[in-house]
Amino acid sequence: MVKVADIMAGDMKNARENSIQESGSIFPEFHKIIQRSDKETYLKQRSRVIWLTGLSGSGKTTLGSYLEKELFSMGYLTQMLDGDNIRSGINANLSFSDEDRRENIRRIAEVSKLFLHCGIIVISCFISPTREIRAMARKIIGPEDFLEIYVNAPLEICEQRDVKGLYKLARNGKISDFTGIDSPFEAPANCNLEIRTDQLTVKESSRQLLDFVLPWIRNGR
């Protein structure tokens, strides 16, 4: 039996173009929906996905928020994705099992891709603990648009910070599968940038991130 999903995913674009051609083209350019490049030109920016990976407490969301604010003040349009708007929304029905962690990152990558193709700079802040799931994200998004930033602080420092109190819960056995405690974190082998948040101030870390990102997103400015 033919699967509707396959037909819709694969053939819809052709079907639509054919139907428009057959229907007599009231709008000659009609089948051309607005492209990513049109939106990038309009927004005077190149869209990219800035993917912050690192342990809980390493500073991903802090740096991501700062970056969004700095970029917005310079006239760049961004979208932050983090636990606040993902785990409470599209991924509310996922657990922290290995399978669901993978699905979590898959959906985040797909959402990132939609924003990317709308011309928007995405700042994704997720632990994304293994090389395999980051490779999956890179593949979904496209390697040329995926900037992997390793927000690096040693486990001891992150555990001292323990801003959400989660390390304490994990050490006391109140939560399980917690990255760094009873679930692995694999440091990136080939990230685009590493930021040592244990050695730099927030201001210095943020500056390093901003300086790295700007050349990737400039578009006729």
With beta carbons less than 8 A apart as the criterion, state whether 116 and 48 touch.
yes
Helical segments of 7-97, H only: 12-22, 36-43, 60-73, 83-85
DSSP 8-state secondary structure symbol assigned to residue 81: E
- Which of 56, 112, 128, 205 is catalytic? The answer is 128
Q: Which residues are 51's β-sheet partners?
A: 124, 148
**Secondary structure (3-state) at 22:** helix
Angle at 173 between CA 168 and CA 178, to 5 degrees: 70
Q: By C-beta, is 118 or 193 nearer to its own copies?
A: 118
CA distance 155 to 208: 22
CA distance 136 to 155: 25
The binder of its own copies chosen from 63, 158, 166, 217 (CB under 8 A): 166
Could you tell me the smallest distance in angstroms from the CB atom of residue 96 to its own copies? Answer: 6
Q: By C-beta, is 40 or 148 nearer to its own copies?
A: 40
Could you tell me the smallest distance in angstroms from the CB atom of residue 189 to its own copies? Answer: 27
Q: Is 80 in the site for its own copies (CB under 8 A)?
A: yes
- Footprint of its own copies on 16-35 (CB under 8 A): 16, 18-20, 23, 26-27, 29-31, 33-34
Could you tell me the smallest distance in angstroms from the CB atom of residue 194 to its own copies? Answer: 21
Asked if 37 is an active-site residue, the reply is no
Residues 141-160, one symbol each (x = binds its own copies by CB under 8 A, - = not), give: --------------------
Q: Is 190 in the site for its own copies (CB under 8 A)?
A: no
CA distance 4 to 158: 47
Residues involved in catalysis: 128
